[in-house]
Amino acid sequence: LMQLFRPLDLLGMVYRTICQGLVDMDAMFKLIDTKQEVVDKPGAKPLQVSDGTVRFENVVFNYDDDRKILHGLDFEVPADGTLAIVGPSGAGKSTIARLLFRFYDPQDGRILIDGQDIAEVTQHSLRGAIGIVPQDSVLFNDSIGYNIGYGREGATQAEIEEAARGAALDGFIAKLPDGYDTQVGERGLKLSGGEKQRVAIARTLLKNPPILILDEATSALDSRTEDEIQATLAKISERRTTLIIAHRLSTITHADEIIVLNEGRIAERGSHRQLLVKRGLYADMWKRQAEDQREKA
Ligand code: ATP
């Protein structure tokens, strides 16, 4: 009997890991051939993105019956603008990103893109409009070229190479023994955290979505790699509506709005400057991170 359950258990684990890590769900569903929790409404129409405004209206969400995770959130990410979400571990930051990608539906309230409720449109069109650069990307046991090209079906070699340049991966690939044909993943070359993130950026460049979710890694990369990746991310988020889940405040000082989330509620909101003047939670976090930086230096 255990032999029967173990694979099921493993599937469950893979599923949960993916939900948590904001990996490309469509890919994983193809891999593990299982059902999605959220299904298209009958007659759902494709999402029509005009300028890419994202709105959360009184969004209430819980994973289980006994504990509310988000308690009625209201915010807007303006077209081509940037909204950053910060807050302590477990505050609900990644949950917001999972809801926007519609891994789950809220129990109350609505999430709108250009005025369309995302629960009413096809998932295919919704997920096609949103690019995610996750904390940790899954690499397939295949060539690095395949892993980048996965961002868009039918991408040509020239497009893959252009995306690699955009993600500043081209220099790294040029040094690999078989270039773009080098095998990566568990059974091939293992990439560092920074390199994997660049693969995710390259995939996103190929996908070219109007809306972007950046889920900043908690584990720090070395500071030079970090700076380089930040510069690349800043470039790809230009002219796209961007939601950043941030751990380092230094990366979001430019955001149009910063939301400080605490236990599923907005504790503070405003621009970096406005929040510093408030001398509240954000100002404390800023001070603490600055002190940590000084200690490391
Ligand atoms: P971190 O900064 O540590 O990534 P976060 O702010 O992104 O944290 P979330 O991942 O959104 O936090 O989680 C919010 C709360 O929801 C946590 O208390 C977490 O335990 C709970 N939670 C997350 N995923 C699930 C799940 N699949 N089932 C049940 N509870 C969950």
Residue 12's alpha-carbon distances to 5, 29, 62, in angstroms, are 10, 12, 19
Check if 98 has its Cβ closer than 6 Å to any atom of ligand 1.
Answer: no
CA–CA separation, 102 and 104 (whole Å)? 5
In this structure, the residue with its CA closest to atom 1 of ligand 1 is: 89
How far is residue 66's CA from residue 189's CA, in Å, rounded to a whole number? 44
C-alpha R_g of the chain: 20
Atom 17, ligand 1: residue with shortest CA distance: 90
Nearest protein Cα to ligand 1, atom 21: 90
Instruction: Give the whole-number percent of the chain exceeding pLDDT 70.
Output: 86
CA dist 120 and 295 (Å) reads 50
CA–centroid distance, 90 to ligand 1, in Å, is 5
How far does residue 96's CA lie from ligand 1's centre (Å)?
Answer: 10
Residue 283 has pLDDT above 70, yes or no: yes
Residues in the chain: 297
Distance, in Å, from the CA atom of 229 to the CA atom of 28, rounded to the nearest integer, reads: 26
Q: Is 43 in a helix, a strand, or coil?
A: coil
pLDDT of amino acid 294: 78
- Does the beta carbon of 259 lie inside 6 Å of ligand 1? no
Query: What secondary structure does DSSP assign to 234-280, as a single string?
Result: HHHHTTSEEEEE-S-GGG-TT-SEEEEEETTEEEEEE-HHHHHHHTS
Q: Which of 185-194, 244-253, 259-268 has the highest mean pLDDT?
A: 259-268
ipTM of this model? 0.97
Q: Ligand 1, closest atom to CA 16?
A: 27
Ligand 1 atom, smallest distance to 245 CA: 7
pLDDT at 215: 86
pLDDT at site 208? 92
Residues linked to residue 142 through DSSP beta bridges, in sequence order: 184
Compute, in angstroms, the gap from residue 69 CA to the centroid of ligand 1: 8
Place of tokens 């493993």: 10
Structure confidence by residue, pLDDT tens digits, 75-108: 999 999 999 999 998 999 989 999 999 999 999 9
**The pLDDT of residue 30:** 47
Q: Which two tokens stand for residue 63?
A: 């994973």
Q: Does residue 221 carry a pLDDT above 70?
A: no
User: How is residue 189 annotated by DSSP?
Assistant: B
Rounded to an integer, what distance in angstroms lies between the CA atom of residue 204 and that of residue 187? 24
Rounded Cα distance between 268 and 285, Å, is: 12
The pLDDT value recorded for residue 14 is 55
Please work out whether the CB of residue 89 comes within 6 Å of at least one atom of ligand 1: yes
Region 2-22: what's the mean pLDDT? 52
Pocket probe for ligand 1: among 23, 63, 213, 243, the residue whose CB has the most ligand atoms within 8 Å is: 63
Beta bridge partners of 176: none
Verify whether ligand 1 is closer than 6 Å to residue 64 (CB atom): yes
Cβ neighbours, 10 Å, residue 146: 17
Nearest atom in ligand 1 to the alpha carbon of residue 98 is 11
For the stretch 194-211, pLDDT in tens is 899 899 999 999 999 999
Ligand 1 pocket check: which of 69, 70, 73, 135 to mutate, most ligand atoms within 8 Å of Cβ? Answer: 69
pLDDT tens, residue by residue, 13-48: 555 555 545 555 555 544 444 445 788 999 999 999
Side chain identity at 150, as an amino acid letter?
Answer: Y
Strand partners, 170: none
Q: Give the closest residue (by CA) to ligand 1 atom 4.
A: 89
Distances (CA, A) of 78 to 29, 44, 277: 31, 25, 23
At 15, phi and psi to the nearest 5?
-60, -45
Q: Are strands 108-113 and 241-245 parallel, antiparallel or unpaired?
A: unpaired
